[in-house]
Amino acid sequence: MNENNYNEFRISNLDYESKKTDLLKQELDVNLQLQVIVKKRIELLKDSFLQIPNTAPEYALLLTQQEQDMIELDELKYREGLITELLSKYKSKL
Q: Is 38 exposed, middle or buried (0-12, 13-18, 19+ CB in 10 A)?
A: buried
Q: Which tens digits make up the pLDDT trace of 55-78?
A: 998 999 999 999 999 999 999 999
**Confidence check: pLDDT of 7 > 60:** no
Instruction: Give the largest CA-CA distance in the chain.
Output: 74
Instruction: Tell me the per-residue pLDDT of 12-49, one tens digit each, with 9 for 90 and over.
Output: 666 777 788 899 999 999 999 999 999 999 999 999 98
* Confidence (pTM): 0.77
CA 10 to chain centre: 30
Instruction: From 92, 68, 13, 10, select the one nearest 60 (Cα to Cα).
Output: 68
